[in-house]
Amino acid sequence: MNREHLRSLFTTKSARVETNRGEAYYARLYEQCKARLEELKKIEPLRKISIKEILEDEGVSRRDFLKWASATTAMLMLPSSFTPLVAEAAELMTRVPVIWIELQDCAGNSEAFIRSDGPKVDDIILEIISLEFQETLMAAAGHQAEAQLEDAMEHFKGKYLLFVEGAIPVGPGREWCTIGASGETFEEHLKRVAKDAAAIVAVGTCATFGGVPAAAPNPTGAVGVMDIVNDKPIINIPACPANPANMVGVILHYVLTGQIPELDSLLRPKFAFGYRIHDNCERRAHFDAGEFVEEWGDEGAKNNFCLYKMGCKGPMTFNNCSIVRYNESVNWPIGSGHGCIGCSEPGFWDKYAYERPMADANIKMAPGGGVEKSVDEFGLGLLTAAGVGIAIHAAASAIAGKKSEGEE
């Protein structure tokens, strides 16, 4: 990763997205998208099947489909007038081949991907996108799997989206992780498959910022994709695992606009990472009222009070889980009474992933020193300051809350 990226995260005023850019902007974008879709329609589809047919087969009505398109439009932070274009783009997703590789990963993102509900995964796999290589699901193995990868890379040269799951060891462990009969290292493998990709989607925090393997003391010198590949558009979808809604959102955006979505300084799409968990949290009112869970299972917990004092990192974490949630919106970590661990932020294992407030943090520092360390310390210092600031606000709210109680 370019260290400037990290630096800017902590120094720019805000990485937040502008949700309203004015009519002229959207009018221009609308025309651009329309032109893009017209272009796409001229391209020979990879799958000669229409989404209409699929939906009919599956008994999904046009109305339900448009409802989904409308929700997706909102998620992509576009005005509702874009809904028909998003629907059209979904129908044109058949034009986008996807190759998915796994490096230092736990397959959690593959697992999350198959929980996708919009569109459903059997549609994605069979018909909507052309998933050409995905180790966790593909039929071929060994030599045949390798041949399939080469074949897809050749056939879709310059056109495929490359999804990467997992980190890449470049430290002493560079040669420890190998793929394939020839014993190709992860780094060689990534570079080879990335070479002819149209764009790369780094999915999950391991592929974006190094994630678990990069946690201190980072035994294998693990890094993210953007530290290895510097000549391709890269879209980071961090979180552990990444939300499948955001994976589909990125593909849709690419189809719709022919461009990668607008990104923040950490290359995360702003439509998903443009605001903080805290901004849209269902427990936010309790924060403002100074009502906190003080101990697991206490009266506050029974009344869904704010989890800030239990170590929730929602105020420092940019992600849309408080809106999109997980598993078809069934729940999300804060819903189940556990604080956010900041899993979409760089270095969160060493900075955020503990269940006590910032002030009580027993933070494990990155080893070895060097610039990486100073950046971590830099970030850490600022974030601790932010934590203290929020703590002061929380305390003030608590006093205000008590006051109003007293007044009653």
Partner 1 sequence: MGTKHIVVDPITRIEGHLRIEAVINENNTIVDAYSSSTMFRGIEEILKGRDPRDCGLLAMRICGVCTGTHYQRSIEAVEHAFGVTIPKNARLVRNLIQGALYLHDHVVHFYHLHALDWVDITKALEADPTKTVNEAKKWANAAGTTPYVADSAKFKEVQDRLKKFVKQGRLGLFAKGYWGNPHYKLTPEQNLLAVTHYLQALDLQRDAAKMMAIFGGKNPHPQSIVVGGVTCVQDIQNPARIALYKDLLKGFTRFIKGAYLPDIYMAGTMYGDEALDGTGAGLKNYLVYGGFRLQDNGFYKSELLFPSGLVIDGKYQEFDQEKVAEDVTHSWYNGDKPLHPFDGQTIPNYTGFGKKEKGIAYLDTKGKYSWIKSPIYDDTRVEVGPLARMVVGYVKGDKRISEYVNKFLKNANLPAKVLFSTVGRTAARAIETEMMADIMFNWVDELAANVAAGDLSTWTEFDFDYVSKDAKGYGLEEAPRGALGHWVKIKDGKVENYQAVVPSTWNAAPRDYKNRMGAYEASLIGTKVAKPEEPLEILRTIHSFDPCIACAVHIVDTKGKSLGEFKVNTSCSI
Site for partner 1 in 306-325 (CB under 8 A): 325
Q: DSSP assignment, residue 43? A: S
- Footprint on residues 361-400 left by partner 1 (CB under 8 A): 362, 364
Q: Least CB distance from residue 48 to partner 1, whole Å?
A: 6
Name residues contacting partner 1, limited to 232-251 (CB under 8 A): 240-241
Stretch that binds partner 1, among 34-42, 112-120, 257-265, 379-387 (CB under 8 A): 112-120
Cα(385)–Cα(377) distance, rounded to whole angstroms? 12
**Interacting span for partner 1 (CB under 8 A) from 64-72, 258-266, 334-342, 393-401:** 334-342
3-class DSSP state of 116: coil
Among 79, 84, 219, 401, binds partner 1 (CB under 8 A): 219
Question: Residue 36 or 325: which CB sits closer to partner 1?
Answer: 325
- Report yes or no: 313 and 347 within 8 Å, Cβ to Cβ: no
User: Does 294 participate in binding partner 1 (rule CB under 8 A)?
Assistant: no
Determine if 134 is a binding residue for partner 1 (CB under 8 A): yes
Cα separation values, 310 from 19, 284, 298, 340, 359, Å = 31, 14, 12, 10, 11
Contacts of residue 364, defined as CB under 8 A and 6 or more positions apart, other chains included, come to 215, 216, 350
Task: State how far the Cα of 42 lies from the Cα of 31, in Å rounded to an integer.
Answer: 17
Residue 39 binds to partner 1 (criterion: CB under 8 A)? no
Does position 330 bind partner 1 by CB under 8 A?
Answer: yes
Smallest distance from the beta carbon of 133 to partner 1, in angstroms? 8
- Cβ(164)–Cβ(202) under 8 Å? yes
Stretch that binds partner 1, among 28-36, 63-71, 77-85, 148-156 (CB under 8 A): 148-156
Please report where in the chains the tokens 């990485």 appear, as a residue: 15
With respect to partner 1, which residue has the nearer C-beta, 143 or 403?
Answer: 143
CA distances in angstroms from 271 to 75, 183, 274, 345, listed in the order given:
7, 39, 6, 16
Token pair in block for residue 305:
């009070």
Q: Min. distance of Cβ 241 from partner 1 in angstroms? A: 6
